[in-house]
Amino acid sequence: MRHRRDEEEGSGFRKVALSMGGHAHDPYAYLLRRLDLRLSSRQKRAFLLRLRRRRRIRPVLVDRLAALAGILLTPLVMWLRREKSDAPVLIVELGQRSSVFAIRREFVRHYDSGQTREDTPIACTNGSRFVFSRLNVEDRRLFWRLWRTFFAAIVQGLAFRRQIPLAPLPAALMALFSVACSPDKRIFMFQIYGLDSYLVAVLIERLLGRSSRISASNSVLYCHNRYLELPRSELMLCSRPQVAELGSLQKRGWVEVQSATLWGLEEIQTTRDLVPTPPRYHIGIYCSGEWARKDGRFAPRRPGPEVIRHQNNERHRAFMAEVLEPILRLCREERLRACAYLHPYERRLLKNLGLDPPYADLLRSEGVVLATSGESSLSRVYDCHVGVSLSSTVIFDRWHLGLDGLLFWGAVNRPFMRPGLLGVYANNFFSDESELRRKVMDCLADCNGIPLAPAPPPPATRPSCA
């Protein structure tokens, strides 16, 4: 997939394009060629963007062996894990744990209440289970055609040394065939920012001639979804800032969908029961756990204490210098009450490994409450007048709910968001300490006359990490 340099991406995008472009052994390009599908320039950008943003990077040899074993076992797995379903709805979310589907079902039933009632059965697949409502001779022929194509692409990719992930392809095949054998079902897709999920969404349209509803997730579109070409499908927008951003992206010709509708935050199990309450704090500091990430990615699900060695990465330094330390100075000078909310990743490290964030002692010494409970930050979104973060998605959730929130705008965030695309929300960014102080105080001035609720008493001892 050859592509010219994109002025918005810079040299980094060009390197990705070259790594995936025009090579004789490029497995994704080979797969699409075998299916007689030609991609537009925008579609190529969409694939390349998702390749660049992939979250998990396996060693190349491990990835290739997993892909080869997976595709060889796919016919057997499909037979052993088949599930005939007459449900009118099918949810597709590749690579996700089955426990998440209860949340997705609730999301669909809540926002699609006109067509999906509370008692409507909903089938789900994460690519490890074959869900179908029919399986005739033509379907079986289609499966073997698809299987041979995916198998050939994986074999072709064995000689491709660059880190293009092939291991997700068997699950993508299973999900695609589930859709093919469910012609009477409405299709909902999540995590469309994944390379494999986007491939399935494209093949649903281009190969099967079907449409689907795709979730935009809660984050900004620019990071993972700024290039999107699914002209048969409906985009489910999950926050109000995405409405303004989508308009900007469509004006640039980067997004084409059949329609777009504002649904709401994906965490419906939390937001449905949210009730506005008097705030306890002036400022909420939303952490992102950058100190325990490598290249912006999480450690394995069962990480060891060695994650500490990453605590001096660029994004952690930016969080300390641009967000945490200025806020602490402001609280000290203006006698403001603040609470710091840990990222779910940080809470897991604290609970499982007893790893305190490196700024925990600093926060305690400054009298800042450190929220270490198992509650999500979103469930306590009304705790503070204004939220501040380096890049937490909770700030976008606050904007959606009509609450104040500020995000840092600097070099470390340029790959992930563009304020200029967000319409009126562009005013909620700061680039230095003076701008941060001014905007925080402006937000607090708007809340004059609204007293703070009593703060919860601090714990008598350090929270247990057991």
Q: How many helices (H) and strands (E) does the chain have?
A: 17, 14
Task: Report how far Cα 100 is from the mean position of its chain's Cα atoms.
Answer: 14
Question: What percent of the chain stands above pLDDT 70?
Answer: 85
- Cβ atoms of 175 and 200 within 8 Å: the answer is yes
CB-based contacts of 103, cutoff 8 Å, min separation 6:
266, 267, 268, 269
Residue 260: which of 275, 269, 247, 270 has the closest Cα?
247
Give the residue extent of every domain in the chain.
Answer: 11-269, 275-445
In this prediction, residue 97 has a pLDDT band, given cuts at 50, 70 and 90, of confident
463, pLDDT greater than 70: no
What's the pLDDT score for residue 13? Answer: 41
Label residue 89 left, alpha or beta by phi (over 0 means left) and psi (-120 to 50 means alpha).
Answer: beta
Mean pLDDT for the chain?
86
pLDDT band at 310; cut points 50, 70, 90: low
| Closest by CA position to 60, among listed 156, 158, 138, 130 | 158
Q: Return left, alpha or beta for 110; rule: phi > 0 is left, psi -120 to 50 is alpha, else beta.
A: alpha
**pLDDT above 80: residue 3:** no
**pLDDT tens digit sequence for 373-396:** 778 889 899 999 999 999 999 999
- As a whole number, mean pLDDT of residues 116-145 equals 94
Amino acid 308: pLDDT: 61
Confidence of residue 301 (pLDDT cuts 50, 70, 90): low
User: What's the pLDDT tens digit per position in 199-216?
Assistant: 999 999 999 999 999 999
pLDDT tens digit string along 145-195?
A: 999 999 999 998 888 777 788 999 999 999 999 999 999 999 999 999 999
CATH for the stretch 275-445: 3.40.50.2000
